[in-house]
């Protein structure tokens, strides 16, 4: 966590992730974020539950970085926060992403 010792919490968010591509709702002064992924406990494979990109591309069920239950991610640049996209893989399942945003 590159700057967390100098930054303060500037917001939090709980993002529900299913079959539609979702984006973050950023506080205006957020420059970093820590994201914790919680897979739907009824998913057929909780270790392959969602996919994401941080370059603005839209992930889908077959493309993107995989996320499993209890995955933790750190995004350390504002542009990555703005470009972050995530989608659930299995139809009918809803996962949670708990997010804490940091800034000055």
* pLDDT on residue 6: 85
* Token pair belonging to 74: 């750190």
Structural domain spans, the chain: 8-103
* pLDDT on residue 21: 98
Task: State how far the Cα of 101 lies from the Cα of 91, in Å rounded to an integer.
Answer: 29
Query: What tens-digit pLDDT sequence spans the chain (104 residues)?
Result: 555 568 999 999 999 999 999 999 999 999 999 999 999 999 999 999 999 999 999 999 999 999 999 999 999 999 999 999 999 999 999 999 999 999 99
* pLDDT on residue 94: 98
8 Å CB contact between 100 and 34: yes
Task: State how far the Cα of 11 lies from the Cα of 47, in Å rounded to an integer.
Answer: 27
| CATH class of segment(s) 8-103 | mainly beta
* pLDDT on residue 2: 53
CA angle (102 as vertex; 54, 77 as ends), nearest 5: 30
C-alpha gyration radius of the chain: 13
């Amino acid at each position: 966590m590159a700057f967390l010792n100098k930054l303060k919490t500037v917001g939090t968010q709980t993002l529900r992730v299913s079959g539609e591509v979702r984006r973050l709702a950023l506080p205006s002064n957020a420059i970093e974020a820590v994201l914790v992924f919680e897979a739907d406990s009824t998913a057929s494979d909780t270790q392959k539950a969602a996919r994401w990109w941080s370059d603005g591309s839209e992930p889908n069920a077959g493309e993107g970085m995989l996320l499993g239950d209890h995955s933790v991610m750190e995004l350390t640049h504002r542009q990555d926060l703005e470009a972050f996209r995530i989608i659930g893989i299995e139809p009918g399942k809803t996962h949670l992403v708990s997010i804490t945003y940091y800034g000055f």
